[in-house]
Amino acid sequence: MQVVSIQERIGSRKHKDIYERIRRQGTVSKIELLEQSEMTGSTLTRTLEELTAQGWLIEAGLGESTGGRRPILYQTNPDAGYVFGLEISRLSTKLILCDLHLNKLASQSWQMDSTMTPAKLLPVIADSAIAMLQSRNIEAGQVLGMGVGAVGPLDRFTGTILEPLYFPAAGWRNVHVSGFLEERLGIPVKLDNGANTALIGESWSDRNRDYRHLLYIHAGVGIRSAMMSNGKVVYGAVDMEGSIGQMIIQTDGPRLGDHGNYGSLETFASIHALEQQAQARLKQGRESSLRYKTTDPGEINFAHLMQALQESDPLTVEIFSQAATYFGIGLSNLLNILHPEKVILGGSLISTHPSFFQIATRVAIRNTYHYPNYQVVFSQGHLGEEALVAGAAIMIINQLTEL
């Protein structure tokens, strides 16, 4: 099946430029576009007419008069196309279908347990995507593509998940996600790491603010990060998603399992680290309400910890506070190196309790070298747990105006 390139759907540079300007501003008049662009009035008029005739733009009424005729307002047409966003994480996988204004038309989620191998999950995703389109009478040709935000490391050029850690099911090694889904669905499928797509989503949701340098950190089973500079995601020579988790913050520290650096940030501030800390302290005889949640201290998991934290169990509060402090130290190292204007923190550890965010950011500021001359904005984002999957869909829409 012939896959239509996303970049070719809107042909010329000037068409892409005008479409992107309108998309970012929501509703714009021709007068405003004339002031913003370098086009002549006749060229702009012709461009707007062509984009409208092609279905990419719609007229959205009339603006306020400034003395003459009321100007026509333009906005992008939400029904000019559709996009899928897909999140593949260690705990869950989620698929959404959206129009071009990111209005969610359908959604499906799957828990990632020990049975969710790639051989089982990918066909289910494809079948679900097909069913979503059929139930809304949407043809495959109307779909721009599917964006996938996944756990790394991965190769975004070949669309392959490489060797991720901590998946509950076997088989998640060298999985050609994009190729499989493209063949089944007949649409372009673009893979990137989940931290990057989450940052794309958060950046788009806050596009009216002029933040040029953004840092996103997701703290959960692992620690994942992404950086954006001048509106573009920063890519390294290899996929960098989990690299900050291996930042060494205690040279004689322990190691998490049988991989990674000794004394790394992930060893002190991740779901597995908290579970191990709780299990070890219970075995040492520490008193805690955790002791009554399971007969075997070795079976204590993150769900137990969240329950105990809500109960203000002293041991659990101590474990989370210590993890937040270490996370703040790692965060300060990043601030001292990268100097972002805004830092967005997401993931299960951040959202579990307000104290984690508060402690981590306070420690980070205290250890930031140029503070208070260097000011940084901390946020838990606008999209919450939807950031990754929404950003995956936005990643596809963004390609409409790429050259």
Q: Mind listing the pLDDT tens digit for each residue in 323-346?
A: 999 999 999 999 998 889 899 998
Query: Could you give the number of structural domains in the chain?
Result: 3
Among 308, 311, 318, 385, CA closest to 350: 385
Answer whether residue 51 is part of any domain.
yes
| 13-27, 121-135, 256-270: the lowest-pLDDT one | 256-270
What is residue 68's predicted lDDT score, i.e. its pLDDT?
64
What is residue 371's predicted lDDT score, i.e. its pLDDT?
76
Answer whether residue 4 is part of any domain.
no
Determine the residue type at 114. Answer: S
Answer whether residue 292 is part of any domain.
yes
Answer whether residue 3 is part of any domain.
no
Answer whether residue 5 is part of any domain.
no
Q: Which domain holds residue 53?
A: 13-79
Note whether 166 and 249 are same-domain residues. no
3-state class (DSSP) for residue 198: helix
Note whether 91 and 191 are same-domain residues. yes
Q: Mind listing the pLDDT tens digit for each residue in 223-280?
A: 888 898 888 888 877 666 667 888 888 888 888 877 788 889 989 998 989 999 899 8
Distance CA 246, CA 262 (A): 8
For residue 297, what are its two tokens?
């201290």
Among 320, 162, 167, 174, CA closest to 241: 162
pTM for the whole thing? 0.86
Answer whether residue 299 is part of any domain.
yes
Answer whether residue 393 is part of any domain.
yes
CATH code for position 99: 3.30.420.40
Region 198-203 average pLDDT: 91
Q: Given 31, 53, 79, which residue is the final one in a domain?
A: 79
3-state class (DSSP) for residue 83: strand
CB atoms within 10 A of CB 192: 25
Is residue 188 within 8 Å of 144, Cβ to Cβ? yes
User: Tokens 């966003």 belong to which residue?
Assistant: 85
CATH code for position 62: 1.10.10.10
- The answer, yes or no, to whether residue 1 has pLDDT greater than 60, is no
Determine the residue type at 120. Answer: K
CA distances from 328 to 4, 216, 275, 347 (A): 45, 14, 19, 15
Determine the residue type at 166. Answer: Y
Label residue 72 exposed, middle or buried (CB < 10 Å: 0-12, 13-18, 19+): middle
Note whether 283 and 365 are same-domain residues. yes
Distance CA 175, CA 212 (A): 34
Distance CA 266, CA 320 (A): 14
3-state class (DSSP) for residue 374: coil
